[in-house]
Structure formats: C-alpha cells, structure tokens
C-alpha cells in the first residue's frame, strides 16, 4: 500500500493507522453494485457521465471570484444551504438506511465500480475507528458533525470515550438529538457500522451543540483527538481560523478526512475542487500549527470527481 513519505511521531507509525485491504474489500463486497476493470470499455462511459453530471458551479465560481478575488464558499451560504438540507432530509435513521438506495461511480486502484454512498461512509468509519484504537483518546470531538450519524456511531463503538460534536446548523443538531432521545441506536445505525457496536445505548452520552469552527467554544487542549469528515471542504473561506481552532482545542492528534490539495493535483479533482470553492490546503499546512504528519493517504475508494482521504497528525 502506497503511503506518502512523511515524518512519523515516535510513538506510532503510518502503518499503525492503515486499514487493511481485507477490511475494505468486505465493505465493498456488501455495497458495490457492479465492478469493472479500470480498462474495461464499459466503465469509461459510466465514469465520464458521472464527471459530466458534476460539472456545475461555474456561475458560483465566477460570483465568488468577482466578489472576493478568491474562490471560497461563504459561510453564510454554507449555513443556509445545510439548514435547508438537514430540514429536508428524512430522519437520521432513514438517512443512514437510505445510503444504500443510490450508487456513485467510484475508483479504487485498478477497479471502477458502482458503489453506494454507504460504502464510502463505512470506509471512512474504518479509518476513524482504526485511529481511535491506536491513539486511545479519552475525549474526542467531531467538527462539522452534521446530523450526527458518525459521532453517534463512534460513541456506541467506544463507550469508554467521551465524544462531542459541533455543527454549524441548528437543523443538523436537532436531527442528531432526536436520535439521542431514543434509548438505543436505531437498527439502521447498527447495521451500517463496519464494526460491532458494544454499547448501542452509549450514543446518549455524546455532547452535541451548534457552533462555528472558526471560534470553537472549548478550552485549550480540551480533547485528545479532533476529527473531521468532509467538513473542512466547506470552510475554505475560514480555513486558517478553523485549522487554528482545531489545533487549539486538540491536545494530541487530528484525523482529517478531506479533499486535500495533495490528492487533487490533476483534473478532474483539481477542477472540481476549484469550481466548488472547496478546501484547498496541503497536508503540510498542519505543521504551522505544531503537528507532525503521520499518515497522508488517498488509497481508499474515491468518487471519480475528486479525491479525499485521511491526514493524521500528532503533536
């Protein structure tokens, strides 16, 4: 498995955080609806069609450039868009179950496949679970927790750990708290976890609140581990503030699964991230906040439009 050659912390190495091929293949076996050799002529039209469907956002790109001289999503637009999104989506349990109802065009190594969104979600969860097992934190924060489906699953997977989630939108937190009000995690959560959940009642212990990533309402070093999953991608406008705040409240480590520039140096990823005004930082940008990079990897199933992967860094 190819991993970027970066400095490693003394206590751990990059290989400690890598998810084995067998574990990823188990997820793919459950959620891939079709699989192709990357050179298969049947695959290329599917891939091209998916990329073409996503060639949107030119008008927004021009508006952002003319208004600010920089292509970045404005946070007021992000908040408004996601407030509407979480209000319109089904309950969180229906949302999680529904992630198997559609397919995405996805690449992994020498294969193309039609994979459900659940497959990508579970792959990301495997990396988060692996990192938590290696780092053994006592307190963990998710920045940009959305409707809470990831942080509540992790709380049930690791009931001995205190989890917290912060989300920009009131609608997202309301959805998450509706799940918390249930005495046990819904069956859709349990079925959609790539690892067994020892205590499906521990989701009730997570602390959830609204807040802005650019001004986190927590004390310095309040958490041993802070993670994001496709949340910083919406924060290019406040990138430095958000990363500075993440660093401030983190006592030891971060796991940031995002579309890092390192992973999107070529089209279509480069063009897609630029058009959408997504997060545009290099992994080594974390070093200015006192972190040492341990793992920088895009070696996981990826949407054909752009690549995202974990950057794990430790103090």
* DSSP class of 289: G
Q: With bands split at pLDDT 50, 70 and 90, how would you rate the model's confidence at 170?
A: very high
Among residues 51, 53, 54, 76, which one has the least CA distance to residue 234? 76
Q: Is the predicted pLDDT of residue 32 greater than 60, yes or no?
A: yes
Mean pLDDT value across residues 157-167: 98
Between residues 132 and 73, the one the model is more confident about: 132
Interval 266-295: pLDDT, tens: 999 998 898 888 989 999 999 999 999 999
Please say if the pLDDT value at position 77 is more than 60: yes
Token pair for 152: 């509540």
Residue 7 has pLDDT above 50, yes or no: no
| Distances, alpha carbon 168 to alpha carbons 2, 98, 143, 144, 218, in Å | 35, 23, 9, 7, 15
What is the predicted pLDDT for the residue at 274? 87
Domains for the chain: give ranges and CATH numbers. 14-314 (3.40.50.150)
DSSP one-letter code for 313: E
- Averaged pLDDT for residues 171-197: 97
Mean pLDDT to the nearest integer, 244-263: 97
pLDDT, residue 9, reads 43
Assess whether pLDDT exceeds 60 at residue 57: no
pLDDT tens per residue across span 105-121? 999 999 999 999 999 99
Could you give the residue ranges of the DSSP H alpha helices within the chain?
A: 14-17, 21-31, 43-53, 58-68, 75-88, 92-98, 117-135, 149-157, 170-180, 187-191, 239-249, 269-276
Average pLDDT of the chain is 91
Q: How confident is the model at residue 310 (pLDDT cuts 50, 70, 90)?
A: very high
Quick one: average pLDDT of 27-31? 97
- The predicted pLDDT at position 75 comes to 86
What's residue 277's pLDDT? 87
């Amino acid at each position: 498995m190819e991993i970027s050659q970066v400095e490693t912390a003394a206590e751990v190495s990059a290989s400690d955080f890598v998810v084995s091929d067998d574990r990823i293949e188990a997820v793919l076996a459950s959620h891939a609806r079709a699989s192709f050799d990357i050179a298969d002529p049947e695959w290329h039209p599917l891939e091209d069609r998916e990329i073409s469907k996503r060639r949107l956002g030119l008008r927004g790109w021009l508006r952002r450039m003319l208004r600010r001289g920089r292509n970045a999503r404005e946070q007021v637009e992000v908040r408004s868009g996601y407030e509407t999104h979480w209000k319109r989506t089904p309950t969180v349990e229906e949302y999680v179950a529904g992630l198997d109802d559609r397919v995405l065009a996805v690449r992994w190594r020498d294969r193309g496949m039609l994979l459900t969104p659940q497959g990508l979600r579970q792959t990301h969860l495997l990396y988060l679970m692996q990192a938590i097992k290696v780092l053994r934190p006592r307190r963990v924060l998710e920045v940009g927790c959305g409707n809470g489906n990831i942080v509540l699953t992790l709380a049930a997977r690791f009931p001995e750990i205190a989890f917290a989630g912060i989300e920009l939108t009131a609608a997202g937190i309301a959805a998450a708290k509706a799940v918390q009000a249930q005495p046990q995690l819904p069956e859709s959560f349990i079925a959609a976890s790539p690892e067994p959940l020892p205590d499906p009642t521990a989701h009730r212990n997570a602390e959830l609140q609204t807040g802005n990533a650019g001004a986190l309402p927590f004390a310095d070093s309040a958490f041993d581990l802070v993670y994001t999953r496709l949340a910083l991608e919406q924060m290019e406008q406040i990138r430095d503030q958000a990363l500075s705040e993440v660093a401030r409240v983190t006592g030891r480590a971060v796991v940031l699964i995002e579309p890092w520039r390192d992973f999107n140096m070529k089209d279509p990823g480069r063009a897609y991230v630029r058009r959408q005004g997504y997060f545009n930082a290099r992994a080594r940008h974390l070093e200015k906040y006192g972190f040492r990079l341990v793992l920088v990897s895009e070696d996981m199933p990826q949407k054909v439009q752009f690549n995202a992967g974990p950057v794990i860094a430790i103090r």
